[in-house]
Amino acid sequence: MTSGNVVFAEYRKNAQLAQGYSILDAAKKAEIEISAVCGGRGLCGKCRIVVKQGSDNLEPVTHLEMMSLSKEELNAGYRLACCALLNREGTTLVGVPPESRAQQQRLLVAGIETAVSRNPSVKKFLIHLSKPSLEDIKSDAEILLDGLSHEQQVTHASITYEALTQLPTALREGDWSVTVTMRDGSEVICIEPKDTTKRTYGLAVDVGSTKIASYLLDLNEGKVVATASAQNPQIPFGEDIISRVSYASKSEKNLRELQGVVIACINKLLFDTCESAGVNASETYDVVLVGNTVMHHICLGINPRFVALSPYPPAIKSSVSVRARDLGLKTNPAANVYVLPNVAGFVGADAVADVLATEIHRSTSLSIMIDVGTNTEIVLGNEQKTIACSCASGPAFEGGHIEFGMRAEPGAIENVYVDPSNLEPGFKTVGDERPRGICGSGIVDAVAAMLKSGIINKYGLINTKLNNHRILTDGAPRYVLSWKEENDLGHDIAVTQHDVQEIQLAKAAIYAGATILMKHMRVEPHEIQKVFLAGAFGTYVDPQSAVILGMYPDVPLERVQFVGNAAGSGARMALLSREVRENADRIVQHIDYVELAADPSFEREFTEALQLPHKDMTRFPTVAQLIKRE
Amino acid sequence: MTSGNVVFAEYRKNAQLAQGYSILDAAKKAEIEISAVCGGRGLCGKCRIVVKQGSDNLEPVTHLEMMSLSKEELNAGYRLACCALLNREGTTLVGVPPESRAQQQRLLVAGIETAVSRNPSVKKFLIHLSKPSLEDIKSDAEILLDGLSHEQQVTHASITYEALTQLPTALREGDWSVTVTMRDGSEVICIEPKDTTKRTYGLAVDVGSTKIASYLLDLNEGKVVATASAQNPQIPFGEDIISRVSYASKSEKNLRELQGVVIACINKLLFDTCESAGVNASETYDVVLVGNTVMHHICLGINPRFVALSPYPPAIKSSVSVRARDLGLKTNPAANVYVLPNVAGFVGADAVADVLATEIHRSTSLSIMIDVGTNTEIVLGNEQKTIACSCASGPAFEGGHIEFGMRAEPGAIENVYVDPSNLEPGFKTVGDERPRGICGSGIVDAVAAMLKSGIINKYGLINTKLNNHRILTDGAPRYVLSWKEENDLGHDIAVTQHDVQEIQLAKAAIYAGATILMKHMRVEPHEIQKVFLAGAFGTYVDPQSAVILGMYPDVPLERVQFVGNAAGSGARMALLSREVRENADRIVQHIDYVELAADPSFEREFTEALQLPHKDMTRFPTVAQLIKRE
């Protein structure tokens, strides 16, 4: 059974308990697949569970578990499922945190699902109308509006121009039974003959600087029916946001070009998701777009130049509604594109979507949301006050600027562990294919494992004196995860000294941003009840690995939740609920933007955070326990 | 001085009165050009005036005047200006009806000007804004809306997507002074740097089946700055409405084709008017379109098929607003196209425009409005009740189906008279150029003059026994207006027997329609206080000639007003006034449509009206006096 993010597995009286029968084995029987990258050898530390009842039925905590789990975790009942051997009959109740569930890993990348009252902007109604007669010559529009009023109690509706052009033919083709697509309960946007009410789809799109993710939803069921993602095709025009702004600002033509490639990409994703779900693109009647402010502007064809110039004003904060065809989207021509509002020049609609998905603004307790990307947005707050900032963290966590970095495609190393006894690595790839590179979650795991096992020190330097065959020193020092003979790349796949530095720069920027927000709100890390870790790491990032790097303040691990692409989740919520949209416009009015560049302590915070996990180890007590010191 | 449609000319004490000095001569001195096609020989009857004061100063009524004017007219003080000789000093006050004023002829073709309170949908405001600062980072949109609220007391405005894309650059280019174009006081549709408020134009277009007329207006001044017209380019797809409906209904492609050629033509007229007024097409921010229901549908890309099938329902009655760019119009991209509402399948937006221009629906007294075209719309009523019908009158009055018919271009014969003594014709051409053909008003004049002078009889048959050199009988009988040696056509220009028949068919349809409307309202001709004669005759049609043909009920001539292209006038009014637009939607709710085909007496009325002016001459007492019987 599942409840929230935890699976409760009960192992009742069982006479045939084999020697060495673990919770991991029991879970398999119960068809709960627990993630164990190392194959159950106690090395990867991915199969964390919490024993809720019957701890006496288990063998004592092993040495391997003590290395993988912090003192707090051990005290809280955490075990590794592969090490926790059942030694006698009885009921053992364990909780399996979401990050330990193998089956969920891929799914969760799509982002958390936050419940919304389903009330999409776009709804279809089947209505039956009566023909006009010579005695009662009504116009087609009058007949339709009368029918809507009688059958659906919709009064004061208007008909869009597009719907009007469909009306006369649809009424006759449908023999006066038509499906009316309405927007926001007041606008008839499409008329189709007969009953097409079951075919109502919408597209939610998160336009990241690096990756564009799309979700096709059945608006009747409120469910995702297909997802697809692609690299942002603007990358050739400038990897970072600023160079794209610079390119777009040069001429109207350049702006149109950057807009054009994104729109073409979204169209491709639309067609891909539609194809895989057996949907026609014209059955997509609504679109929600999110992205940072620059992506927002470029997608809409608004010159982003001034967003990048002090005082960084966005062209607009409030949400924008545009006709899909005006943007060149190949949905139903009647579809509308709703773009979530922006907070500031560098905290855009994607951050608002993050807030919607994590509901920070509605919580009584203090939460921090970190949406890791090329620009990382951080939001700290609760129902009383919410503040946000943005930091330039670079694309390392998305696999960018990493020697063997790649997207989370089949063959990408997504989980890594290092056997502390011999420094031999183990890993899991996407699709369990032969390795081809390392994706975001893989590089986080790898660097954390290298730190834990002493392959790198707190300065991030690879210990070339270890004299291990995996640590190569010809050229730049590097740690080999996969020999060229073992992979499809034809080249050793390694984590290089430079890769580690990229990760350090990225995580330092994020940690410094989070620290300054906390300073602004005068709160300490222990006051934070919830850390939402979001971002396009490719696959499920291990919150423990992330905290080992010092990416976010060291809080008890159970307070940390990886929420995947939360911006995408927020976009989906806006696609499913008009209330969420109204909420979004209120949220931006209540988020205070903190300009990091204007904070005098940013520089020092950043520099100190370059160490792993931090120069000041008292800030990372849990991590301190886990790291094997030189 | 002018008042309404009448010029009052005062001829005061004058010692040097020459022998034979007429009102026509006096008018010339006073720079009031009175129309006298025959050059002041008392033959054309076009220089009718009404003596208001000082009739004793004039020589008695001449024989020629008695032939041109009816008994009622003579009793009411009507004279011909060329025949009314001043015989003594003193003040003579005469009224010059609009149809007698030569200067006005060409102008009045543009239609009457009905006063409207100027409140155009589109208005520009210059506003001065303050830059954002790091202390107060507002979005550009917030700055703009705050400015609108402070400087113009415009609250709750929204910004269209197009305006949003212009905003960031315009604000900086204008150094925070921008011109805001607003629609209906609530929607920002365009942002331009600096002050462009003086450049606010709009286009009114009347899409007739045969002719498309356009008017470029300065929306600040409320004045027409240029006009242009062209033949409807759909004519090659079918001269009559039904064949165009049939063509458009065959496929979506055909419909798009018919729509495309009209839109291209309107764009051409837009560019032509803009060029002649020194306006850039992008300075046109608003468009009003009128046309019959089929033209309405085709212009909007709505399948017109069902309009032509019983019970002839239009797709929509109420007014439609469409973005100009959605129709492919090359105005400012932000421009909106407002299309006036329709009454019924065959009484369209053009008839509503006619009603707006003539204000039938606001008058306490009974009026009839006849908008002559390929389809002629007739509206009868007053402020209490208004009814309308449509009759298929064919293109004869627009010069169509007439052997030497042509548009009212230079060289078109626009006025005709026949000297009763020798049956010699006289005429005036457009631009006073050598004749090339006959336009609508010319053919009306010619047939009326032929009837008056006995060249044709009440059945419309040319009297070939008259043995006049102008009446040719080789082939079909015809009456020659201009010998080939005298014109630029290289061919005798004549009115043929067939032409007369076309006119008979056309006017019979119109008269039958008017009669059935009167029957529906149970009113007699004498109860009609005002006849508005509208239509695209080319130039100013002579109401007397029209009544001689029996086109409309025989009412005293002073009750008849030729209002030219009243549909165009109504379109211009809607361009200048939001109240007029609101009014228009109310009008259609209160006009009852009369389906002529459903009236059992239509056939008989039509047949009887084929005679000139009518089988029952008691219905045309005034005309009876004027016609020289065989």
Asked whether the beta carbons of A544 and A448 are under 8 A apart, the reply is: yes
* Mean confidence (pLDDT) of chain A: 89
Q: Does A326 touch chain B (CB under 8 A)?
A: yes
Q: Which residues of B touch A312 (CB under 8 A)?
A: 137
B151 has pLDDT over 50? yes
Residue B107's pLDDT band (cuts 50, 70, 90)? very low
Which residues touch A288 (CB under 8 Å, ≥6 apart)? A202, A203, A204, A205, A337, A338, A339, A340, A571, A572, A574, A575
d(CA A349, CA A337): 13
The DSSP letter of residue B320 is E
- Which residues in chain B have their CB less than 8 angstroms from residue A316's CB? 139-142, 159, 164, 167
Percent of chain A with pLDDT over 70: 94
Residue B17 confidence (pLDDT): 59
B585-606: average pLDDT:
92
Decide if A168 touches B, using CB distance below 8 A: yes
Whether residues B311 and A342 touch (CB distance < 8 A) is answered with no
pLDDT digits (tens, 9 = 90+) for A103-143: 544 444 566 777 788 999 999 999 999 988 877 789 999 99
A232, A296 Cβ separation under 8 angstroms: no
Q: Mean per-residue pLDDT for A461-471?
A: 94
Q: How far is CA B132 from CA A294, A308, A313, A318, B144, in A?
A: 18, 14, 7, 17, 11
For residues B266 and B301, is the Cβ–Cβ distance under 8 A?
A: no
Closest CA to A380 of A615, A175, A591, A139: A591
Within 8 A of B311 by CB-CB distance, chain A residues are 132-134, 137
Work out the pLDDT band at B537, boundaries 50, 70, 90.
confident
**Is the preceding omega at residue A314 within 30 degrees of 0, hence cis?**
no
| pLDDT classification of B42: cutoffs 50, 70, 90 | confident
Give CA–CA dist B158/B79, Å, rounded. Answer: 61
Question: Sign of the CA dihedral A438, A439, A445, A450?
Answer: positive
Q: How many CB pairs under 8 A join A and B?
A: 119
Look at residue B330 and tell me whether its pLDDT is greater than 80.
yes
Taking a contact as any Cβ pair under 8 Å apart, which residues of chain B between 582 and 601 contact chain A? 593, 595, 598
Residue A630 has pLDDT above 80, yes or no: no
Measured between CB atoms, which of A138, A141, A313 is closest to B139? Answer: A313
Instruction: Report, as an integer, the average pLDDT of B145-173.
Output: 94
* Chain B residue nearest residue A168, CA to CA: B315
Mean pLDDT along residues B484-500: 92
Predicted confidence (pLDDT) at residue B189 exceeds the cutoff of 80 = yes
ipTM summary value: 0.84
Q: Do A169 and B314 touch (CB under 8 A)?
A: no
User: Is residue B102 scored above 70 in pLDDT?
Assistant: no
| Nearest chain A residue (CA) to B141 | A316
Is B511's pLDDT higher than 90?
yes
Q: What is the arithmetic mean of pLDDT over B474-498? A: 93
- Contact indicator for A227, A214 with CB cutoff of 8 Å: yes
B322 touches chain A (CB under 8 A): yes
- Residue B374 in contact with residue B394, Cβ under 8 Å? yes
Contacts of B305 in chain A (CB under 8 A): 168-169
- Out of B137, B164, B312, whose CB is closest to A316? B164
Q: Residue A141: closest CA among chain B residues belongs to which residue?
A: B316
B315 in contact with chain A, both atoms CB, cutoff 8 A? yes
Contacts of B547 (CB under 8 A, 6+ apart): B554, B557, B560, B613, B620, B622, B623
Comparing C-alpha atoms, which of A160, A156, A320 is closest to residue B322?
A160
Residues A260-284: what's their mean pLDDT?
97
| pLDDT, greater one: B17 or B387 | B387
Tokens encoding A211: 């990756």
Residue B36 or B608, more confident: B608
If contacts are CB pairs under 8 Å, which of residues 453-512 in chain B contact chain A? none
**A140/B314 CB distance under 8 A:** yes
A504, amino acid identity: Q
Average pLDDT over residues A513-523: 96
Partner B contacted by A161 (CB < 8 A): yes
* DSSP summary character for residue B236: G
Q: Are strands B336-339 and B284-291 parallel, antiparallel or unpaired?
A: parallel
For chain B, report the end-to-end CA distance as a whole number of angstroms.
44
Read off the pLDDT of residues A318-357 as tens digits, 9 standing for 90 and up: 999 999 999 999 999 999 999 999 999 889 999 999 999 9
> pLDDT tens for residues A406-443?
888 889 999 999 998 899 999 999 888 999 999 999 99
How many residues does the structure list for chain A? Answer: 630
Please give the average per-residue pLDDT across A606-610, as a whole number.
96
Cβ contact B293:B244 at 8 Å: no
Cα dihedral sign, A431-A432-A433-A434: positive
CA A163 to CA A335: how far, in whole Å? 11
Residue B386 is predicted with a pLDDT of: 96
> What band does A239 get if pLDDT is binned at 50, 70 and 90?
confident
Task: Give the pTM.
Answer: 0.84
Please judge whether B132 and A311 are an interchain contact, meaning their C-beta atoms are less than 8 angstroms apart.
yes
Q: A428 near A441, Cβ under 8 Å?
A: no
Q: How far, in Å, CA of A218 to CA of A199, rounded? A: 8
Q: What is the pLDDT of residue B431?
A: 85
pLDDT winner (highest mean) among A80-94, A107-121, A493-507, B405-419: A493-507
pLDDT at B197: 97
Per-residue pLDDT of B177-186, as tens digits, reads: 999 999 999 9
Mean pLDDT estimate for chain B: 89
Q: Looking at residue A108, what is its pLDDT?
A: 42
- Chain A residues whose CB is inside 8 A of the B134 CB are 310-311, 595, 598
Distances (CA, A) of B624 to A251, A265, B273, B613, B617: 76, 79, 45, 9, 7
User: Which residue, B207, B164, B171, B203, is CA-closest to B187?
Assistant: B164
* pLDDT bracket for residue B538 (50, 70, 90): low
Of residues A142, A165, A320, nearest to B302 (C-beta): A165
Which of B137, B300, B305 is facing A313, going by the closest CB pair?
Answer: B137
Q: Which residues of B touch A300 (CB under 8 A)?
A: 161, 164-165
Nearest CA in chain B to A161: B322
Residue of B nearest to A255 (CA): B165
Mean per-residue pLDDT, B475-503: 93
pLDDT digits (tens, 9 = 90+) for A552-595: 999 988 899 888 889 999 999 999 999 999 999 999 999 999 98
In chain A, residues with a C-beta closer than 8 Å to the C-beta of B137 are: 311-313, 344-345, 593
Give the H/E segment covering residue A234.
none
Among B461, B612, B457, residue whose Cα is nearest residue B545? B612
Q: Do B306 and A168 touch (CB under 8 A)?
A: yes
pLDDT > 50? residue B104: no
A13 has a pLDDT exceeding 70: no
How, if at all, do strands A187-193 and A201-207 pair?
Answer: unpaired
d(CA B247, CA A431): 58
Whole-number Cα distances in Å, B49 to A75, B5, B42, B74: 113, 12, 13, 11
Measured between beta carbons, the chain B residues lying within 8 angstroms of A132 are: 311, 313
What is the distance between the alpha carbons of residues A288 and A293, in angstroms, rounded to a whole number? 15
Q: Is the pLDDT of residue A5 over 60?
A: no
pLDDT of residue A242: 87
| A133 touching B (Cβ < 8 Å) | yes
**H-helix segments, B453-524:** 497-521
Nearest to B275 by CA among B231, B225, B233, B327: B225
Q: What is the pLDDT of residues B415-430, one digit of tens each?
A: 999 998 899 999 999 8
DSSP character at residue A316? -
Of A107-116, A304-313, B499-508, the least confident: A107-116
Helices marked H in A344-472: 349-358, 440-452
Cα–Cα distance for residue pair A573/A563, rounded to 1 Å: 14
Question: Could you tell me the pLDDT band of residue A68, with boundaries at 50, 70 and 90?
Answer: confident
User: Which of A109-113, B247-251, B422-426, B454-458 has the least mean pLDDT?
Assistant: A109-113
Q: How confident is the model at residue B111 (pLDDT cuts 50, 70, 90)?
A: low
* Residue B578 or residue B597, greater confidence: B578
C-alpha–C-alpha distance, residues B429 and B564, integer Å: 18
Tell me the residue type at A547. Answer: V
Q: Is B251 exposed, middle or buried (0-12, 13-18, 19+ CB in 10 A)?
A: exposed
Does the pLDDT at position A4 exceed 60?
A: no
Chain CA centroid to CA A106, Å: 11
Q: Strand (E) positions, B385-517?
A: 386-392, 412-418, 425-429, 437-438, 471-472, 478-482, 493-496
Name the residue facing A164 among B143, B164, B302 (closest C-beta). Answer: B302
Phi-psi region of A215 (alpha: psi -120 to 50; beta: other; left: phi over 0): beta
CA separation for the pair A144, A124 (Å, rounded): 14
Closest chain A residue by Cα to residue B302: A165
**Which pLDDT value is given to residue B6?**
44
Give the residue among B329, B375, B331, B337 at the shortest CA–CA distance from B354: B375
B156 and chain A in contact, CB less than 8 A: no
Question: DSSP 3-state assignment of A226?
Answer: strand
pLDDT the model gives residue B608: 96
CA geometry: angle B609, B614, B618, nearest 5 deg: 135
Please judge whether A311 and B169 are an interchain contact, meaning their C-beta atoms are less than 8 angstroms apart.
no
